[in-house]
Structures are given as structure tokens and as C-alpha cells.
Structure 1
Amino acid sequence: MATVVDAPRFEHHRDALGIGEPRPRLSWRVRSAPSGWRQTAYRIDIVRNGNIHSYEVESAEQILVPWPASPLRSREAATVRVAVRGTNGAWSAPSDPATVEVGLLAPADWVARPVGATWNEDPDSDERRPSIVRRDFEARAGLVRARLYATAHGLYEAEINGERVGDDTLSPGWTVYGERLRYYTYDVTGLVRPGQNAIGAWLGDGWYRGRLGWRGGFRNLYGYDLSFLGQLELTYADGTREVVATDPSWRAAPSPIIRTGIYDGEDHDAREEQPGWSRAGFDDSAWEVVSVRHRDPATLVAPTAPPVRRTQDVAPVAVLTSPSGRHILDFGQNLVGRVRIRATGEAGASVSLRTAEVLQDGELYTRPLREARSTDTYTLAGRPDGEEWEPRFTFHGFRYVEVSGWPGDLDAAAGDGSIVARVIHTDLERTGWFESSDPLLNRLHDNVVWGMRGNVVDIPTDCPQRDERVGWTGDIQVFGPTASYLFDVSGMLSGWLRDVAIEQLPDGTVPWYVPVIPAHQMWTPLRPGAAWGDVATLLPWTLYERFADLGVLDAQFDSARRWVDLVERLSGPSRRWDTGFQLGDWLDPAAPPEDPADARTDRYLVATAYFARSTRIVARMAEALGLAAETERYDALADEVAAAFAAAYVHDDGTMTSDAQTAYALALRFDLIPDENGRAAAATRLAELVRKAGNRIATGFVGTPLVTDALSDSGHTETAYDLLMERECPSWLYQVTMGATTVWERWDSLLPDGTVNPGTMTSFNHYALGAVADWMHRVVAGLAPAEPGYRRIRFAPRPGGGLTSAAARHLTPYGEAAISWRLDGRDLHVDAVVPVGAEAVLQLNGRDDETLPPGTHTRTTTLPR
């Protein structure tokens, strides 16, 4: 078998156009190789400016290896191939080429300035109508390359000669705008023609100046203006470059979008459209001269992840008529996106689309949306050949859409593609799959996937539907391992962690959510909180474990250390964090609907446990980075905190001061019980509590990701399965039996009688409680990393729960790893796949551990009775 190498990848980019790293690290996968083959060296061939440079390195590394050449310059492109040598001494053929192109790296590269309409910058005006901006330009013959570098104060979509630029949406996304405003690079060579051309952009409020926050929220939180910043660079065969940049020569006019907002939806009046406005020769003499605003070019940054895109269209599965006579489309799946329509009707007629996640008593139920209007309206222009529209600058979380004013037969429109839901989210690469012999468990896993898709709309959010949708740090802290299996989140989350570090206060406090809404003091003053603030330590470590990226540890180590140092000061000599406000085991199912922090587990027990865990992780981060003094310091501190925890919260017999599932799960998983007998007693008590509760869940956001592992790690795997497979409320499968298609915020967001939980926080799309999927991947199916980046894989399936089969596949940095098992009586049949460049340890009951080389392996063992 020949050794075949896939084209290299640059950093964590799926598309390496306009990246911000001048020395991008390289990774590659060896698709196939002879039996017993191992990489011993690699050769990187780089073509720059027509010259080939080769770099040969004696190394077995193939993940995020250093860029071997001099740094790339702004705008520079390079083509890279990789060849590898194995233990047989033979070199592979070079890989297919991959091209990388750098964006604008230095502030001096930018000449563009933000431009927009004057009426969009008045702080005393309630005028929210967005604008469109444009200008004509001329291109000479001999054009060989055209790049548009674009961003906005607000959201934008650019056009050249009437054609949409790119396929992204909701760009430039949400970052800490004052420090980091993301820009995107587009190859528009095919859109520019010799002679006269035109460029323009649509603008929308977005997160920059639109309404943000609950209890009514606030506008203009990052600025008053609505502005486009674009720099079109034209490169000719003779080497010259011309720049068409946003400047005072641009002109602005009112958009046919009457209003638009993230929470409230979009109103579009097609009668106000100006056909041809982004084409050459359009008469813009009646348009106003733009107002030019300021943006420090040093704050413009290239993306580290794919943009938000439309990734799927979903057709309605039913057209319902409510008791009040309203027409409601059921899309059969709770999803995140917006509705695209095609309609023919009279000018001035309006179609209204109101969305919600659930029905109650047959009617659209919008109370869980709180003050999010979540309605889109399209006023027809009356075109005889029909009209097509979808909102540009908003998104909704919904399964149901109430349609008013539809011009024609709604049943026919739902069946012929005239109305579809368009799913949008950050266009992450899918990397993980799971299935089992139980359809309900498979549906639960599907719900976790759909929930994640809906909550990675540029940032990792809590929920996608109500007047919130912010980057709650605790949610992604607990869900990070699951997210890292299901999708390649390496670039997205490492970029978001940069914003975490920026928003972190000088004393080390990590905000509850990032980016911080500037008017946060109205509801959530910035103060330290366990589990939420610990995202600064635990999420970077998760990314390192799953993607072998030392760079994220290096970038985030100071942030992580400052968080632990803060908690050390707060705890004082006692080493117990037992003061201040805490969310604790948020949304424990026993908590009252209006007091979700009132959990069965002492919130200060939770805080001290997380203090111990984060301190230990900072020590491991320091060790990985080669920081010996810091490793010793934080290991010693972690020992002190662990001892303080045990003294304060663990009785001599292994029971705990909070006799609750979350307390035991924390103590066991964070290794906070000092002796083996105590650990065994604690595990036994945890299993007793689960059985005593009828196998119904009794954990909130903190305990849920830990409780099944705490059981299976300590010999109570069947009890963990009992918890997972329970169908009565509260449980994971209760949600499935109630028709859930995403994971809920509350275990009982929908009550057994079919009514919606009365709590003001009742989302039907929250991923936090879906963190159990990580246990399903690692323990039920049996696929886990044993070394960072899956360089060594652990296959350790633990059948149970009445399952007769299960399987998992994961696209690791080295290639696809997979395991499937099936039971035939007591005989366990296992098939495992190890990618080239990795190895695996197979751990099966009744067999000694076995090391597996790359390839496909089949084993059978008889399980003990």
C-alpha cells in the first residue's frame, strides 16, 4: 500500500483565504500507509512568488508543526505541499497543494474608513431604518486578482455589479468591538470586469447598535453609527495595485429594510427597493453623501473560524390551523435560522412570519421568548413573476411559524418549496457521530447536535430564541468536551477565548458572559462566580486535550492563572471559597422555577471544588508549557484546596455535608476525597441517591456533565445507565418522549401535562444539559483521547442499559477513529479503526489491555456474568 498524504491545513482554518497568522502552523493527515509504517520525517515545499523552497525536518509530528519559512507578508499567497518519510526510509509522493493567503496584517495596510448615512448616527434619534451605501469604480484591462476586505459597525452584506459577495451571513459577528473587530476577505476577481463597475453594501444594526439584553435591553451599546468599511484591492498583470476604499466619495440611501434586529426580526418593504443600485451606471444623484466615521485599524483582526452560513434548508412537515383560526407551519425540528419565502401578490400586501419553539393549546406560544418580537414582515412589490425574500440581519430559534397574509394557498406553498426554513450557524466541520440500538438514545444525541448547531451562531450562546442569546461562560465550560467531539470548534473557541481574556477584569474576574453587554450592571454586575469563571482554565485545557494545540494554552495561560490567583485571594488562608454570590448547581430540578440557583448542593461546596479543579488544571497547563516553577506552585496550592475541601465537606465515612448527587459527582470527578475507602463510600452513596430518586436526574448545570462519569469510574456503570435511560421526569429521555428535538434549558421546560414551565427562563434549546453526550461517546461507545489530539486513543466500551450495540466515529487531527460494538448473548464483538499516525489502547472487560496500531481491528470477548 502506498503512503498517501492529504493536503495540509493551516492553523485551524477550513478556508485559508485572508488569515491573520503570518507563520501559520501546518497539519496533515496520512490517508493510507503500509502496515507498520510510522512517520520519521516530513518535507514541506512552499511556492512563493514563483520560487520553490523545500524544508526537510526529522520529526514524527504532523499536527500544528511550525511554519518553516520566513513570515508571510500582508496579501501574500503561498502554495504548500507535504511529503512524509516512514520507517521504511521511503518518501511518499507530495500531497495535493493547498494555498494560504494572508489578509491585512498591519494597521498601515488599511486606507478604508467606515462610511454610512447621516441619519444612522444621531444618538438622540429613534430612527432605526438601515441604509445601503455604494460607489462606482473603474477597472483596467489585465486584472489578475481582486480582493475585498470588509467589515462593519453593525452587520453587512456586500455586492459588486449586482452580485452578492461571499456566502456568509451576520458578518462580521460579535466580538469585543472596541478591541477586536473581525474583517473578512473575499476573492471577487470573477465579479469585477474591465470598465465601469459598482460596489455596494447592505447594513443592519446587529449586535453593534441593536437592542441587546433582557428586561427591555439597550440600544447603541457599542456605537451610534451604522457603517460599512470596505477595501477593494485590484491587482493587475503589470504588478500595479489600485484600491477602491470606503471614503467620502461613497453615497447612501434608505434601505428597503424598514427595521431589523437580532431579537425582534426584520421588516422589509419591497416597494422601497431600488433595482440595480449596486450595478454600474445607476443614478445615485438623489442619494446623500456619506458620513465618514472612525475605526482604529489596529483593532481590525482576521477570523480564526469559519463565518456563519446557511447550512441546510428544512421544509414544513405540516400546515396547522389553530383553535383561533391562525395558520401555523410545523417544520418538525426546533432549529435556528429564518424563513425564506417565494410569493406572488398585490403591491402593498404584507406577509408576516411569527416564530416560536412550542405550541400550547394549539396556539403559537411566545411567552418563553420574553420581549423578543421574533417576527419578520415582507411587503410585496407586486411583481407579476413573483418575489423571493428572506431576512438578512436577524435569526430566530423556532419549530413553528405563524403565517399571516399569505397571498394564495398556504398548503400548496408549504409543499412546493415556496416556504422553507434556512438553518444558519457558524459553519463548523462536523467531526463526531454516535448511534446505538436504542432509538430514543439516538434521538437524544440528535437533539444535542441540533442544540449545538443552534447555539454556535458566531459565539457559543446559551439559547437562540429569547431576548438574551449571549455567550454564557458556564454553559460552554460544561459543554466544551461534547462540542469538541461533535464539531471542529478549535478555531471558533480559541478566538472566543481571546475575548474572554480581554473582558477579564484587572483583578482576574471572568464575566458571566462574553462579550459583555456594556450595560451589564443593570442585571449582572461583574463578579467572580465558580463554574462560569472557570471557563478560563477548563476550556483551554479541553481544546488542548482534543486538538493538541499548545498555542491555545500559551495564549490563555495568563488569563487562567489570573483567575486562580483571584480565587486564592478570595478564599484566604482557609482555602475554601465560601463567600460572595454564586450560581451554584444552576437549574437543579428541585429548584423553584423563579430561583434556579436554589440547589440541593451547597453553592460554596461547588465553588471550592471548582477552585481545586482549576488550580490543578493551571498546574497541568504550566507543565505542558514547560513552566516548572508555576507547575510546582499551582500543584501545591491545589493540594491545599483539596485538603480544605475534604475537611469542610466530606465526613469521615465518605458521605458529604450536601447529601446530593452533584456534591458526590464533584468530589469524585475532581479527585477531592483523599483516601480510597472514602471514595468507595462516596460512590456507593451516589449510587444509592440515584436509586432512591427512581433513577431520575437530580443535578443542574454543574453536576450533569459529571454524574455519569462519577458512577462509571467507580464501578457503578449500570447505575449510570439507569440514570441515562430513565424516561420519567426529570430525565434526558423524558424530554425525548415529550417530543423534544433539541435539549431544553430546564429538565421540565415542558411539564408532563403538556404545558410550558412557568419560569421566566424556559428555553427549549440549551446545550448545557446535553453535556452527557460526552459520556455517551467515551463510555457507551467507548472512544476517547488518551493523549492530546488523539495521538493515542482509548477504546473502552462499557455496554449496559439494555443496549445491544453502539458506535462512534470521530474525525481526529490524525484522521477518522471509529469503534462499533454489538452483543451476542454475553459475547462482545468490537470493531475499531485507528488512523495512521496514532495508536490506540483497547480496554475490554475480560481481556488484558492491548495496544492497537493504525488499521482496522476486530476483537471478541465474553463479558463476565
Structure 2
Amino acid sequence: MITIIGLGVEHSERGCVTDNPHPRFSYAVRSDRSDVVVDGARLAVGDWTCEAGDQTAVAYDGKPLEPFTEYHVTLDVSTADGEHAHAETTFETGRLGQGWQGRWISDAGYDFVEKKVSPVPMMFRKPFTCDPTKSVRKARLYATAMGVYDFACDGKRIGDRYFAPGFTSYKTNLQYQTYDVTDMVGAGAVHTLLATVAGGWAVGSFVFTRKNRVSADRQALLAELRIEYTDGSVEVIGTDASWEVSESGPVRMADLYDGETYDAMMDPGADGSRCKDWRHASLENPRSRPRHIEADYGAGVVAHETLSPVSVARRAGGELVYDFGQNLAGVVRMRIANGRAGQTVVVRHAEILNPDGSLNTAFLRTAKATATYRCADADGFPEGVQEYGPRFTYMGFRYVSVRGVAEDDLRIEAVVLHSDLRPIGDFACSDERLNQLQHNIVWGAKSNLMDIPTDCPQRDERMGWTGDIAVFAPTACLNFDMSRFLEKWLRDVKAEQLKTGGIPNTVPVQGYGFPATMPEMAIDWWGDACVLVPWAVYRSSGDATVLHDMYDTMKRYVKACRFWAGLIGFGKSRYIWNTPSMLHFGDWVAPDVPKMSQWQKRAKWTATASLNNTSRTLARVAEVLGYDEDARAYDELADKVADAYCSVLTDGNGRLDNEFQTGYVLPLYLNMFPETVRGNAVDHLVKLIEDNDYCIGTGFPGTPYILFALADNGREDVAYRMLLNTACPSWLYEVGMGATTIWERWDGLDENGECPIGDDGTDLMISYNHYASGAVGAFLYQRVAGIEAIGAAYRSFRVRPVLGGGLTWAKAHVDTPYGRVGSAWSLDGGRFSITVEVPVGTTCELALPDGTTMQLSNGVHTATCEM
């Protein structure tokens, strides 16, 4: 029997509201039989139908969609042997470009001039009454803000989003959210909308220079409540000067870095009547007037797991230190019993403890990361228990300290926040240390996929560093469905591309100055995100839309890279990217050299390899899009860069003039060495690794690829020895030190549990929750378990495990657009067994360790061989 799974709209399987006039549909087919062939798939939206054989990104092409409308989608699939399956879903259109009746509002009387802090949050209020003579059929609230907002109706919170409308390049792109409030409004009753708007990224302090008011002088709100009655009439209640505003709400301070302060004694009540400081709102014209305000197209931040403390320590002065057992990004939620009016409870956050058991907050730099709650009298709460969790900030932490409340009166838990991403993959094997490494990779990703791809969740940064996601995107796409999340972020990459073609080092830039633009030049591996991330999304999803949307951006970027590479030198040296090292990041945080300046001095090698990689990748993109002439040109450029690397930077026989691990890893992984000298280059890399006791010596550009460079060139023994090394620096050293996420620096803690980071030019740059070197996760899936896509979306894929390291079994799965791909192998004595799961509509090439290969169609297949 066949069934349809995952019928989705715009890469979303539920609750999609879109302004895309041509929404994309996708689905998968599951069967309990093998060798199933789908010979018909009819998709219908209203009176439009199409044959949907591709299964991924089938674009609507019917008559123009109407705004504010729910559409019903049906899908009927049949197989060659007569089986049928049916599935249905719905989606709504948003405004589809229709103008807002609501106006931007704010409080013109609030003159926010302080520097390096965030503004006092504003409250907005609007009483309203539905027509008592009519019945409400549907009610939707459409809302956005300059800042981050929360809405409530009659005291009940609307929606589950944190940090709406999300972080975008506000001068160009802004999202609005759509909330179904039908059950909250009733005819004849008086209702009250209350909104709180904090500074967030648009107005609050951001980046480590703590710049504020980047996009607006003060917070602003834009919203409409659209009520449809059963008689067909529509009433719209939009933001305007009739709304009221106040800065006397209970959220007294909200800052992404410093935290939140909440005064329960200033709670306005469900209708706002307890606040006596209301005045009419003013119409506002925000400085960053976004060109596009569209229905939510990203993956918004919501609450996920809730963790209880694993231990509590009592320190002098009544301080309580809780350990949640997991480094995470999120907030605490407290339940305080017997609170007294004015009693103040202060919670501080940190990733690690000092040797004396106190919180280490030094590495937060200027971030205070503090949640403060001022109690009201307990008599005003059910059973005398007050509950609080921050709404307008988040922290990166494993430990918290609490002052101001007795332990018996406090119940505390950690609420994990991250973007709403569907997990699609998992890996496990016979070595529990590698399983912990996979856990750390996943949790490092969760903590930094916070509406944008950030670098870290704890210190005064949390910025959209392009270099981190450039190298991590393939691993992220193995663990999560990243399509909506990364397509949203790439819109801002496109919007913020410099006139020269370069890409800022952080996107959105949002107040970050030099070296964000370095000055307006292209930066290898960081700017490469505009090429590598769309390619990773396409390879995972099969949706070429992202390639179409980013193609001109990619071309302009590679043109800029080629310009800078050709600026200095003659002959083949014109293809060596050799601009001054301070304008690059080079072999960033490579552990074999201790200074930032030394990482940067390797830029000639990393940048030249980058130009080869982006050119070659762009050639593949051009092929997908049908630009064959472009594909040939970019392949030719990549060939010339590879030849220059080998001719100018080596002795011509596979040996680098300046030897370091990344300098070999990149050309080996990218196939830049001629076959005649490749073996020599591998030998030189292995010699460096052996001399370094099999410890990692690569920075950001080389770390994702070093194990591939070894295993794919006959040295899987060295790859496994490096992967399983427990000495510092190594992945399993971090595991052995108790890490629950990936560290920014390999030497984040010494064997005594203390941080050895000194004055290396990075201003105490150490995060214990930083996903970049977790890019090794791709090796776990693609070589240890052996799952690797050949065609986009795994329409064709290979399973070819690379054995080693004493592992006796490994398994992994990836839920692809066509269904689940799975590999599970085991070794029992000299016998190798493997089970492979192949989805309907795909083909698999299985390669056994004895050299046997076979072609598999859909179904579950088992094979064995003698070793």
C-alpha cells in the first residue's frame, strides 16, 4: 500500500500563510513494497490542476490568488500496478501586496537618546467590540514591528512566537505574522488588544560595539485585526492615533545582551486598566522604511524542550547555582511561592563555572545576561505562586545563579529556544563518544539557528557571521530541514551585497562597521556563503528556486573575488589571491598557531582555494539552471586557479612552500592537485598530522574537510585516528572535558577545567556553543554511515560506508524530500552486514567493503559480505 507523506506548502507542513503568488508544493510517497513506480500524481488547488511528478517545488501556476483567502490542496498519486493514495492540506494567502489600512504608530514623546542600551519597552492598547448583530466567521491579526513584539487579547497571549517579526535587513525586508484569533473574539463583547514592543535588533543595542537605533529612532508597531462576518462583511481595526501607548508596563528593561527586568507590581491587567499612564499613540515614519513587508517566510523562534536542573549548589549569601546539564540557548522559567511585594529575584547566566563554583561571566564581555523579577504580593496569584520567563531576550547558558529567593520557594527550569526547524536526520554508532559528538553538533546548531544563523548565543555578539554557516550548512542540512530558515537569511545576503560584489562578514549587518566590509572587498570563505549556502540548500531540498534567486549575487561575488585575486601578480600569480592578510580571516582559530595575525597570514592559501571552490560550485549551479556557457567559463576559471595554486604555492611535486594542515586539506578535498602529485600531497599532510600526534591543526576553512581529504585518498586509518583522538586539540577532547555543545576554540578549557585563552588579539573570544567545527558531522553521515547524495534531494544517492576506528556498527537516516534514506551496518567477526532504506522515486548505489556494488530501487534491502 502507498501513502502520501509530508504534503507541504512553501516548505511548511502546517499553518502556511504566504504572499508568494506562485507557492511551491512538495510531497513524498511511502510504500510497504519494493520496486514501486509512481506513474501519476495530480495536484489540485481550486480549479487549477497539474501533473506533479517531480515531488519537490511544484509551483502553482493557476489564476492569480486572492488575498486573505484559504485554499484547499488535494493530491492524488497512482502507481504503475494500480495503487492509489490521496492527501489534502490547506494554506492561506496573506496580504499579497495589498496596502495596509493600519499605520505605523509609536510614542513621539519618548526621546530615546541613551547609547549602548536598549529603549524602555512600549505598551500599546486598543479596546474594540465586534458588531453585536453579526456572527464572526474568521478573525486574523496581522502584525509587525520595528523592534520585537508580543500581542495579547484580553490578557491571553496570541501565538507562540518569540522575537517576532524576526531579524531581517530592515531597510529592505520585513516580515509580518498572521495569527488566528477567531476563538478570542466574540460579537458584542468588549475586547482589548495589548501589545508590548521592545527594542530588539532594530532599535536595541546590538553587535559588540552595542550600537542602537540602527533602523529606527524608537519602536514602532503596525497591525491590523481583520474580522470577517458570516454575512460576508469585513471589519478592519488597524493601528492609528486612536490606539494608546505607555512606557509604564511591567517589562522595565529588555535587551538581547543584558537580559530582561520584569516588575509584576506594574502589571496592567487584561484590559490595561491598572496602568494609569496611557496617552494617544503618534503616527510614525521609521527611518528604515522596508521595501518589502511580506507574510512570514522564515522559521520563527519558538520554545522547544524544557530542562530541569540536574543539581543545585548553595553558596555564601544565599546564592543558588543551578546546573541544567546541557549548554543551550533560551531562557529560564521560574515559579516563585510566597513572594512579597517588592521582593526582587535576580538570575544570572553562564556557560561554565569558575574553579570556586561561581559563574564565569568574564567571557560574556559586556553582556549582562541577567533576568530580574520584582514580585507582586503573593495573594494576587493562584495558590500564591508567581510565574515568570523572559519574552524579549535570550541567553546562552548551562548554569544560572539565583539571588533573592529561598530554595524551597523556587522552582526553576530552562526553556530551550530556537527556530522552528524539523529534525530530519540522526547518527549513532558503537562508540558512545562519537554519539556524544553528534549530540553536541545538534545542540550547537539548535543554539545558533535563532532566526538567523548566529555565531554564539551568550556574549555580546550573536551575529550572522557568514563564515560559520558557509562551512556548516551541509551538516545543518543533514540534521534539520533548513529550507525556509536559510532561504529567509539568503534574501538578506542578497539585499546587503556590496556594490563591489563583496558580501558583508555578518548578515544582517545591523550596525556592524569595519571590518564588516573590509573595506568593500570580497572576503574568502566568509563571503563564500552566498554560493555555498544556496548550493547546500538545493542539494538537500531539490528546489532550484534558491539558485535562481541567488545566481546574480553569486556571479557578482565570484567576479569580485577574481578581481582581488588578479590585483597583484603576473602570469599564473594573477590567480593567487594575495591581498594584504589583515583583510582576511585566513585559517581562523587554527590551533597550531596562537595569534589572530598568524591565522590571517595564511590567507594566500585559503583565499586561493576559496576562489577555486566558489568558481567550481558556481559552474555546477549554472549547469542546473541551464547556463552552459557560464558553466564552462567558471570551470575554466577553477582550473586556472587550481593550476596556479599547485604551480606557485608548491614545489610542483605536491609539497607546499609553507606547510600547514589547511594548506593541504583544501586542495586535496577540492581536487586541485594533479593526479600525478596528489599522492605526494597526501603523504605530506599525513606527515604533518603524525608530527602533531594526530591532533587537529585546521581553522574554520579546513576543519570541515580534513577527514574527507584523508579518507577519500586512501588514508581512512589516519582519518579515524584523528576523529577518535582524545588529546587537545580534537573533537573528542571536548567530549572528554564534558562538553555538551561544540566549542569555538579547541583549547577552550585545559585539563584542569580552566580557560587558557590569553591576549591573542581576539578580546577574550571564547564561546562554548559555536557550531563551526561541528561541520565534521557531514563525515559521520557521509563516510561513517556512508549516506551521500548524488543527485539533488537524494533522488539518486550512494551508500558506501568507510570502515575503521574499531567501530562495530553505525547507523544514520536522513528524511529527504522523497522519504527516508537509511543506512545501518554492523561487523560481526569477519562478516559485514548492512540494511539500506530507499524511498519511492529514488535509486541507490550500494558499495560494500569487498568492492561489490549494486543498484537498488525503493524498499528495504539487506546485503552482506566477508571482510
* TM-score, structure 2 normalization: 0.94
1:161-200 equivalences under 5 Å are 161-195=154-188, 196-200=190-194
In 2, distance between residues paired with 1:437 and 1:522?
Answer: 45
In 2, distance between residues paired with 1:544 and 1:483?
Answer: 13
In 2, distance between residues paired with 1:606 and 1:325?
Answer: 52
1:602-621 equivalences under 5 Å are 602-621=602-621
Cα offset, 1:477, TM superposition: 0.4
The one-letter amino acid of 2:250's match is P
In 2, distance between residues paired with 1:433 and 1:795?
Answer: 15
Which of 48, 70, 73 is the matching residue for 1:80? 73
Change beyond 3 A, Cα 1:274–1:680: same
Q: Deviations over 1:712-770 (max 9, x none)?
A: 10010111000000001110000011010100000011122211133410100000011
In 2, distance between residues paired with 1:465 and 1:308?
Answer: 16
1:113 is aligned to 103
Cα offset, 1:3, TM superposition: 2.4
Q: Does 1:383 align with 2:375?
A: no
Q: Deviations over 1:325-364 (max 9, x none)?
A: 6320000110110101011211101000000000011111
In 1, distance between residues paired with 2:673 and 2:492?
Answer: 35
Change beyond 3 A, Cα 1:408–1:682: closer
Cα offset, 1:771, TM superposition: 0.5
2:497 is aligned to 504
In 1, distance between residues paired with 2:799 and 2:698?
Answer: 28
In 2, distance between residues paired with 1:614 and 1:796?
Answer: 27
Which of 82, 86, 95 is the matching residue for 1:94? 86
Change beyond 3 A, Cα 1:310–1:467: same
The one-letter amino acid of 1:368's match is F
Cα offset, 1:804, TM superposition: 0.9
Which of 347, 351, 367 is the matching residue for 2:362? 367
Cα offset, 1:832, TM superposition: 1.0
Change beyond 3 A, Cα 1:541–1:836: same
2:761 is aligned to none
Q: Is the 8 A contact 1:10 1:16 kept in 2?
A: no
2:2 is aligned to 3
The one-letter amino acid of 1:586's match is W
In 1, distance between residues paired with 2:290 and 2:493?
Answer: 21
In 2, distance between residues paired with 1:772 and 1:324?
Answer: 44
Q: Deviations over 1:163-189 (max 9, x none)?
A: 111111111111001111111111111
1:264 is aligned to 258
Cα offset, 1:283, TM superposition: 7.7
In 1, distance between residues paired with 2:297 and 2:683?
Answer: 46
1:849 is aligned to 853
Q: Is the 8 A contact 1:134 1:200 kept in 2?
A: yes
Q: Does 1:134 align with 2:125?
A: yes
Q: Deviations over 1:100-134 (max 9, x none)?
A: 1111121x431212222334454479883212111
CA RMSD, aligned part only?
A: 1.8
1:467-478 equivalences under 5 Å are 467-478=460-471
Q: Does 1:793 align with 2:801?
A: no
**Percent identity over the alignment?**
37
Q: Is the 8 A contact 2:824 2:836 kept in 1?
A: yes
Q: Is the 8 A contact 2:48 2:62 kept in 1?
A: no
In 1, distance between residues paired with 2:837 and 2:157?
Answer: 43
1:140-151 equivalences under 5 Å are 140=131, 141-151=134-144
1:806 is aligned to 810
In 2, distance between residues paired with 1:192 and 1:859?
Answer: 60
1:682-701 equivalences under 5 Å are 682-701=681-700
Q: Is the 8 A contact 2:174 2:290 kept in 1?
A: no
Q: Which moved more, 1:681-690 or 1:397-406?
A: 681-690
Q: Which moved more, 1:386-395 or 1:300-309?
A: 300-309
1:50 is aligned to none
1:238-257 equivalences under 5 Å are 238-253=231-246, 254-257=248-251
The one-letter amino acid of 2:850's match is G
The one-letter amino acid of 2:640's match is E
Q: Is the 8 A contact 2:455 2:468 kept in 1?
A: yes
The one-letter amino acid of 2:479's match is L
Q: Deviations over 1:270-320 (max 9, x none)?
A: 111111235xxx487751111211255742122222210001110000001
1:658-673 equivalences under 5 Å are 658-673=658-673
In 2, distance between residues paired with 1:400 and 1:409?
Answer: 19
Q: Does 1:307 align with 2:309?
A: no
The one-letter amino acid of 1:587's match is V
2:551 is aligned to 557
Q: Does 1:861 align with 2:851?
A: no
Matched residue SS, 1:8: strand
Which of 768, 771, 785 is the matching residue for 2:772? 768
Cα offset, 1:73, TM superposition: 2.2
Q: Is the 8 A contact 1:129 1:258 kept in 2?
A: yes
Q: Does 1:155 align with 2:148?
A: yes
Aligned length: 840
1:562-581 equivalences under 5 Å are 562-572=556-566, 574-580=574-580, 581=583
Q: Deviations over 1:609-652 (max 9, x none)?
A: 10011011111111110112212222222222221111111222
The one-letter amino acid of 1:832's match is V
* TM-score, structure 1 normalization: 0.94
Q: Is the 8 A contact 1:120 1:130 kept in 2?
A: no
Change beyond 3 A, Cα 1:746–1:259: same
In 2, distance between residues paired with 1:666 and 1:188?
Answer: 53
Change beyond 3 A, Cα 1:605–1:790: same
Q: Which moved more, 1:635-644 or 1:483-492?
A: 635-644
Q: Is the 8 A contact 1:4 1:33 kept in 2?
A: no
In 2, distance between residues paired with 1:360 and 1:283?
Answer: 44
Cα offset, 1:659, TM superposition: 1.5
Cα offset, 1:23, TM superposition: 1.3
The one-letter amino acid of 2:365's match is R
Q: Is the 8 A contact 2:249 2:275 kept in 1?
A: no
1:41 is aligned to 40
Q: Does 1:287 align with 2:294?
A: no
1:543 is aligned to 537
The one-letter amino acid of 2:586's match is G
2:431 is aligned to 438
1:584 is aligned to 586
Q: Is the 8 A contact 1:148 1:187 kept in 2?
A: yes
Q: Deviations over 1:774-817 (max 9, x none)?
A: 10110011111111001012111112111111110111111111
Change beyond 3 A, Cα 1:770–1:622: same
The one-letter amino acid of 1:128's match is P
Change beyond 3 A, Cα 1:298–1:179: closer
Q: Is the 8 A contact 2:174 2:292 kept in 1?
A: yes
1:341-420 equivalences under 5 Å are 341-344=334-337, 345-361=339-355, 362-384=357-379, 385-409=384-408, 413=410, 418-420=411-413
In 1, distance between residues paired with 2:103 and 2:83?
Answer: 51
Change beyond 3 A, Cα 1:522–1:30: closer
Q: Is the 8 A contact 2:268 2:274 kept in 1?
A: no
Q: Which moved more, 1:61-70 or 1:292-301?
A: 292-301
Q: Is the 8 A contact 1:742 1:765 kept in 2?
A: yes
Matched residue SS, 1:29: strand
The one-letter amino acid of 2:502's match is T
Q: Is the 8 A contact 2:118 2:203 kept in 1?
A: no
Q: Is the 8 A contact 1:120 1:224 kept in 2?
A: no
Q: Is the 8 A contact 1:129 1:255 kept in 2?
A: no
